[in-house]
Chains A and B, each alone.
Chain A
Amino acid sequence: MILIKNGRVVNPGGKEGKLDILIKDDKIAAVGKNIREKNARVIDAKGKTVAPGLIDMHCHLREPGREDEETIAQTSLAALKGGFTSICCMPNTNPPIDSPGTVKYILEKAKENRGGTVRIFPVGAITKGRKGEELAEISELKDAGVVALSDDGDSVMNALVMRRAFEYAKMFSLPIMSHCQDKQLSRNGVMNEGYNSTVLGITGMPAEAEEVIVYRDISLAAMTGGALHISHSSTRGTVEILKQAKRKKVNVSAEVTPHHLILTDDLVRGFDTSTKVNPPLRTRDDISALRKGLRDGTIDAIATDHAPHSQEEKDDDYRSAPFGMVGLETCLALILTEIVGEGVITLKSAVAKMTVNPARILGLKKGVIAPDQDADVVIFDTGAEWTIAPADFAGPCKNSPFIGRTVRGRVVTTIVGGRVLYSL
């Protein structure tokens, strides 16, 4: 038994305030004032914030395929350090998650980790080999345990295939997470198209490459009644289209990453490949629209898009280096510092966007601290200041443009299924 005492409970889906939490086995047993239980191990959370374990809707495992970049055990530790107790992994592993075998492999691998791992919810591919041509065996994937479908990294460019996917996935209530980017319109692009790409002479990806697919997929979701989730929204236009769609009651949700909320393409001016990410860093104007969308509820969730890449691969020219940043370890601190700290949204709203909202979108019985719920809890110190350093990342890949930045808010304890899997 674990008794978390004296913490400030931020729990958008349940009871809040200065409360104690009692954990029995792998479940929450009680939430209330002054709980006494002499057999419990007491964690004093005085001065700290206690919240449901965070859920990352969008991250990338490198196992199977690139264990040199990050093993499942390392990704798990990265998540735990960041306060995440559940992560959804995108299907672009090698082999991709387009068949039940890969799903089982990942879940088995996670189980083998003796120290215990974060909960992993695989996202299955929409199409075989993520090629955008033929539907993957979605029923088999569902049975194996996927919680959503996505060809992340690529858009399904064939609108008819996408229509069929929405229709077919409906019978399993699987949401489709769409990486929205028209491949022709963004061809050869490695950064945002705009003033900075013009100065640098680098081929850009226009905001419209994202927006035309956001609009298309919203149309298809409305047409089919399927559930659509927009991955890593990055432009003002995307927010505007989403807002309109939600007003029309289309079944659509959306996420945004910390880097798209904080960084602009001005950073690319030094050709630093740690700023290379897809979708690319955009402009001040996009950031202000994304923040407004986060505040008014147009954007439901915050996700990391954690994507480790080796130093060797990132240590290349801007055109050749791979897209992606590590982000699990820094997400919460960045959101607390830059988004909550700047008054964009409240702490409670930020927690909602990383707990109850993702749980709702994915149909998971998670994200709330309440009796009989899984005992997934994070304790963090909103006042603790630290400077992000390479050593803070769990795996060998340190590809973060936030290294050197001072942030406020640090995870001190992460509990998954009643077990303390991480403490600072």
Chain B
Amino acid sequence: MNSKKIVFKRKDLLGIEELSREEIELILDTARGFKEVSIRPIKKVPALRGKTVVNLFYEPSTRTRISFELASKRLSADVINIASSASSVVKGESLTDTARNIQAMEVDAVVVRHPVEGAAFLLSRVLKASLVNAGDGSHEHPTQALLDMFTIREKKKKIEGLNVVIIGDILHSRVARSNIWGLTKMGAVVKVVGPPTLIPPRAQDLKVQVFYRPEEAFIDADVIMGLRIQLERQTSNFFPSIHEYVKDFCITPERLKLAKSDCLVMHPGPINRGIEISSSVADGACSVILEQVTNGIAVRMAVLYLLLAQKQI
């Protein structure tokens, strides 16, 4: 992987919107090399020895944090986890103050998950360390989209020209936003489907096709990507009941039949079984949900490697 001639010049990975197709391809190619590391008996390379990575999580997300932690450790970096969930948040300390404190500890990278859109941008302006956005509100979740694209490319050998359907709560989904940017840049045909209440205004201007019925969106799909539905959305009248959501939008075996026979079913997890996806689909032959988790580590290794290893000390 060191033979790659294109140098990744960014200090931070804040979102997919800002990346070029070439940069996305570079990350995915780099990740391919690291995936091989993950299946060795000794799962460690010295690429980031002596570097320190801080996982700063303002939202509980065990799987994303563990994925980043494993990625750092397999690159031989030292990892510190700071969980600022509601119980342990420092009262009164602003995000930028936290950032300044972390900066003062001379760390090399900060991975941040925050419930508010733009939090990663705010931090990146203060930090000299590299920043990886691990999800900011409903805005972006770039490493999730990268691992999704990695998984699609691995299975389908390409992304260009594929029909990719994203189903569910598009309005509140950072995963959907990052995937829309990435997949359209990579040449896929992206279709979003959900109730109109959960489709953001002017979604078609994101170069996606908008559908309200899965029965229409799923026709000839190469990939169907489910999204986690927040159960509390029904209290804000985005839909009348879970029952009705399941009736119209659950990824069921019947609906899946409309897609191509080799269609991949993906989900960023954690899944609500029987709500956005039926168990038989989640565990079925088309599902690559667990492979996404495996690939997530390789992709995050690639991101940290590209941001940190090529920087001159």
Chain A interface (Cβ < 8 Å from any Cβ of B): 193-195, 197-202, 204, 206, 270-271, 312, 315-320
**CB–CB A317/B95 < 8 A:** yes
Which chain A residues border B17 with CB–CB below 8 Å? 199
Q: Report the separation of the CA atoms of residues A270 and B118 in the bound assembly, to the nearest whole angstrom.
A: 8
Which chain A residues border B121 with CB–CB below 8 Å? 270-271
4 smallest beta-carbon distances between A and B, as pairs: A201-B138, A271-B118, A201-B139, A198-B200
Q: Does any Cβ of A come within 8 Å of B96's Cβ?
A: yes
Q: Which residue of A lies closest to B95 (CB)?
A: A317
Q: A195-B202, A316-B95, A319-B116 are contacts. A201–B122 as well, Cβ < 8 Å?
A: no
Minimum distance in angstroms from B222 CB to a CB of chain A: 25
Q: Does any Cβ of A come within 8 Å of B66's Cβ?
A: no
Q: Report the separation of the CA atoms of residues A194 and B201 in the bound assembly, to the nearest whole angstrom.
A: 6
Q: Pick the residue among B96, B114, B137, B201 that contacts A198 (CB under 8 A).
A: B201
Q: A201-B117, A201-B137, A317-B95 are contacts. A271–B122 as well, Cβ < 8 Å?
A: yes
16 A–B contacts, CB within 8 A, in A order: A195-B205, A198-B200, A198-B201, A198-B202, A199-B17, A200-B118, A201-B138, A201-B140, A204-B201, A271-B117, A271-B121, A316-B94, A316-B95, A317-B114, A317-B116, A317-B117
Q: Report the separation of the CA atoms of residues A197 and B205 in the bound assembly, to the nearest whole angstrom.
A: 12
**CB–CB A200/B94 < 8 A:** no
Minimum distance in angstroms from B232 CB to a CB of chain A: 14
**CB–CB A318/B201 < 8 A:** no
**CB–CB A199/B177 < 8 A:** yes
Which chain B residues border A271 with CB–CB below 8 Å? 117-118, 121-122
Q: Which residue of A lies closest to B170 (CB)?
A: A198
Instruction: Give the one of A194, A200, A316, A317 with max B CB within 10 A.
Output: A317
Q: Does any Cβ of A come within 8 Å of B203's Cβ?
A: yes
**CB–CB B96/A201 < 8 A:** no
**CB–CB A318/B116 < 8 A:** yes
Q: Does any Cβ of A come within 8 Å of B53's Cβ?
A: no
Q: Report the separation of the CA atoms of residues A193 and B201 in the bound assembly, to the nearest whole angstrom.
A: 7
Q: Does any Cβ of A come within 8 Å of B90's Cβ?
A: no
Which chain A residues border B44 with CB–CB below 8 Å? none
Instruction: Give the one of A197, A200, A206, A315 with max B CB within 10 A.
Output: A200
Q: Does any Cβ of A come within 8 Å of B174's Cβ?
A: yes
Which chain B residues border A317 with CB–CB below 8 Å? 95, 114, 116-119, 122
Q: A198-B201, A201-B138 are contacts. A320–B118 as well, Cβ < 8 Å?
A: no
Minimum distance in angstroms from B194 CB to a CB of chain A: 14
Minimum distance in angstroms from B250 CB to a CB of chain A: 24
**CB–CB B201/A201 < 8 A:** no
Convert B137-152 into 0s and 1s, putting 1 for each residue whose CB lies closer than 8 angstroms to a CB of A: 1111000000000000
Q: Does any Cβ of A come within 8 Å of B80's Cβ?
A: no
Which chain A residues border B96 with CB–CB below 8 Å? 315
Which chain A residues border B233 with CB–CB below 8 Å? none
